[in-house]
Every structure is written in C-alpha cells, then in structure tokens.
Structure 1
Amino acid sequence: MKKIINIFLILFSVVLFQSCEDDQFESTLDYVTFSNTEYQSAIDPGSTASKDIIVYSNNISSSDRVFNLSVDLDNTSGDSGSYTLPESVTIPANSNEGVFSIQLADVNLDCSNDLVFMLLPSEGITNGNSSTLTYYQKPSSSCVSEVSGTLDFIFDDFASEISYEILDVEGNVVISGPDSSFSDGDTSTTIPVTLCLGRCYSLVVYDSFGDGLADPGEFSLTIDGTEYASGSGDFGDSDSSIFQVL
C-alpha cells in the first residue's frame, strides 16, 4: 500500500511540476516595460537637463521595434513647459533593450515636480506599469536675487529646548540656530533670514523635550512680507514646513 501511495505522490508531483512549467510558459507573454517605476533628476537654475530611460522587452526580434510613449496628464504635476517626452522609443534589432531621453527645463518649477509617462498599447504586446520622473531645481551656491525676512519666536517657559534649521531641497543646511541655546525665561526673539528668490526650502523647528511650544508659544517665517511657515502647540520633537520663496 505504501508503495502505491509513493508512486501516486511521485506521479502527482511530476504532473504538478509540468503544470507549473506550462503556466510559466503561458505567462511569459510578449511584454515591454520601463527599467524602473521611479526616477529622479535635478536641474541647475536657469538651465536644462536630460534623463535617460531604459525600456526592456522579454523577446528579441530581428528587426527594430517602435513603441509609442504618452504623458499621463491626470497624474503629472510638472508644468508642460518643463519637460519634453519623445513620441516613441525604439528597441533595435537583435536586442531586448532600448533607451530614450526626457528633456527637462527650469520652467515654472515647484519644490517637487512629477512627470508620469507610459507606453501606449501595442497589438500583441503587454505593457508594464507607468513610471514617474520626479525633478526639481538643483540648489546653487549663488543667488540671482536675494530676499530677506525674519524667523520669529514666541516662547513658552522653556525656550532652551528650541532650535531650528532651514534646509535646501536636497537636505543641506542653509541656516541653523541658535548659536547658543535660547534661555529659559526668554519670551520672544526675531532672527534675520536671507534666502534665494525662487528656491525651495524647508523650515524645521525642534523641541528637545518633545512637547513643542505650549500656549502662547508660536513661530513664523516671513520673507519679503509673505508668511511661508508657522506653527504652535504640541508638535512633538519637530515641526517641518516646505515652501518656495516667490
């Protein structure tokens, strides 16, 4: 009886393995897809850049294959003048890899700009998912135009717990303080701030105890008469605001 059961199990395993192989074979349809689902690029202020995107196919053909590209306008946040997507990409003969370039320009950029692109349907071809290129203006050591303002604090009873940083879009510290701790008993302070017009930054206010600024404590960042960040109350260890100086 045991021999019969063993033989049955062996036969079942062979059939199952063959079935899996058949399923695997059937699932390897002709497809073409981007090498990644997410890409990133930075553009120098007032300049242009390009980003190469690789496309893969699971099959190799003896002739060139052309696949059409399109922008997903519903999910693209970048200004239409800041990117140029080619109409198609070619996978050369005797290859399963093609490449195309997306052209980028420093035109009406926000702090973060997304270009979502996809391969258009082709007869007999399964297309991969869309991909997203996130791009931004690269920080520079020089400013075309500087603007000034203030970072204002009204403290609670524990001013010594408070510190701050202003970071550029790549996380580099532009301004930080205080040079020495604020003193408990300080009620308020005003800190001069100078930043670059058009650039993106983030203001991070820290509380070392982790309970933020109790009433009436608050902070605000105002540049050239416009308030770009503010906060108050129990914000825990830190409060972060992203803004673009316009």
Structure 2
Amino acid sequence: MKKYFKYFAIVTAALMFNCEADDPTTLSDYVGFEIGPLSTTVPKNASTTKEVNVYASEEASTERTYSIQVDPASTLKAKYVVPGTVTIPANSKVGTFSISVTDDDTLGFVDQSLIVRFQAEAGLNFGNPVKVNFAEECLETLVLLSITTDDWPEETTWELYDLSGAEPTVIHSGGPYPGAANRKKVLPFRFCLSAGEYGIVIYDVFGDGGTSYEVTSGTTVYVPKTASTSAESSARFTIK
C-alpha cells in the first residue's frame, strides 16, 4: 500500500509540472500580442494607423527586438504597411508597433482581417497571432442586408435600389452564389447609406423562391425577415 501511494504521488507531481509548463503565464522568456481580435475603421480615401501592444513576461536591462510577419490567412486586400520587427524598450515589459492601412475600392464596410504573428526564435516562447480587423468608416447609416439562402443558392441574385431620384437606380447588387458551401447560409452585406428611400429586390431564377432576407442597422429593423416565394420579392425602406 505504501508503494502505491508513493507511486501515485510521483505521477501527480509529474502531471502538475506538465500542466504548469503549458500555461503561458508561468513561462519565462514569454512574448505575446495583446488579446484580439482588434478592430478599427479607415476614413474614406484616407489612411489610418492602428497600434498593437506586445507584452513580455520579464523585464530586461537592454531593449529586445523580435521579428513579426503577416500570416497568409489574412483577408485584407487594401494597401497596408506592417513593420518587420517590434521592440520592447529596456527595463520594460511592453512594446508597440503600428499598422498603417489606406482605404481604396477593395476596402468596404465588412471587416477584413490582417493577422500578424511572430517568427520563431530559439529559446523564446511566443504567443498566438493577433487578428486586426479593418473596415471603411461610415459617417452616415451603416445598413446590414442579411440574405439566408436555401438549398439552391445558385438561383439567387439581388439588387439594392436608390428610390430618391426621378428613376430607380441600382446602387449595389450580388449573386448568384453557387457551391455547397453557400447552401442554407446567412450572407451578410453592409452598405453606408445616406437619408432617403431605398428598395431591395431578391430574384430566384427558377421562380419558386426559398431565400429569406432582412435589412437592419444595429437594433433598427428596416425590413423584417421576409421569405421569397416566387421569382421576385421586394421591399421598400426609408432612412431618416
């Protein structure tokens, strides 16, 4: 019995040691980004800068510089600048680096992400990559069109009209959405709209409908969730 308890104590101690080693807060020479995802907006046809913090588990008497790089999984298409290194000053645990992004036609009102990670370095424990989301700034009303497809998303198209003028004008459109990945899926589209009258039209090429849609802005519902049942379904809404 004594041998059993002795063996149990040794195994328990080993497990506790391994658990502590997996906990980044107990690691020495640990360097990590601030907790993400982070988000910011970019003024139209302008640039913005986003600062990202980097933390070390320990201070050092001299400054420390680490290499960073953009992860290929990033979705940001607009022009950006990310430095190749980040420095933590002497006698400090915190460093910062800046990401610069310039608005262009590829940056809309749906978040695009830039993922930054550390380059591996012997003897150091690095944290997970940080995701920074960017979207174009909207100074008017940011509207969300949510389209929920059926089993045949390749049949669905849509148009958003500006009805404020003498004639209806298509200002945004989309579809079709072929592929199994788009079946029974919520597709979000964001637009920055000024005050006025608008119309949304959902088309089904087969003519039997099946797609549903709604238009909102935060807690404001402009078009409640509506199911299309034919070749065409439409709704009007007003932004004040």
Amino acid of the structure 1 residue aligned with 2:96: V
Q: d(CA) in 1 for partners of 2:213 and 2:68?
A: 48
Residue 151 of structure 1 deviates from its aligned partner by: 2.1
Q: 1:18 corresponds to which letter in structure 2?
A: A
Which of 74, 77, 87 aligns to 2:75? It is 77
CA shift, 1:153, in A, is 5.8
Q: 1:100 to 1:12 in 2, by over 3 A?
A: same
Q: 1:19 and 2:17 equivalent? A: no
Q: 2:95 aligns with which of 98, 113, 118?
A: 98
CA distance in 2, matches of 1:152, 1:66: 53
Contiguous gaps of at least 5 residues in structure 2: 142-161, 164-168, 170-197, 203-211
Amino acid at match of 1:214: T
Runs of 4+ in structure 1 over 4 Å off: 7-10, 24-27
| TM-score calculated relative to the size of structure 1 | 0.55
* Matching of residues 34-73 of structure 1 within 5 Å: 34-72=33-71
* CA gap 1:15/1:69 in 2 versus in 1, 3 angstroms: same
Larger radius of gyration: 1
| Correspondence 1:107 to 2:153 | no
Q: How does 1:37-186 map to 2 (within 5 A)?
A: 37-72=36-71, 74-81=72-79, 83-108=80-105, 109-110=107-108, 111-141=110-140, 149=169, 151=199, 165=215, 167=217, 171=218, 176=222
1:1-34 deviations in Å (ceiling 9; x for gaps)? xxxx4x5565445434532454356553533221
- Give 1:89 shift: 1.0
Shift of 1:61: 2.1
Structure 1's 103 and 216: CA in aligned 2 closer, same or farther, altered over 3 A?
closer
Q: For residues 97 and 10 of structure 1, do their structure 2 counterparts lie closer, same or farther at Cα, with a shift above 3 Å needed? A: farther
Question: Displacement of 1:166 after TM fit?
Answer: 5.3
- 2:191 counterpart residue number: none
Amino acid at match of 1:59: E
Distance 1:151 1:85, change over 3 A: same
Kindly tell me: are residues 104 and 13 of structure 1, through their superposed partners in 2, closer, same or farther at Cα, counting changes over 3 Å?
same
CA contact (8 A) 1:79 1:107 kept: no
Whole-Å Cα distance in 2 between the matches of residues 61 and 101 of structure 1? 22
Partner of 2:194: none
Q: Which ranges of structure 1 fall in alignment gaps of 5 or more residues? A: 155-161, 178-204, 222-246
CA distance in 1, matches of 2:38, 2:78: 18
Residues 67 and 85 in structure 2, CA contact (< 8 A), matched pair in contact too = yes
Q: Secondary structure at the match of 1:76?
A: coil
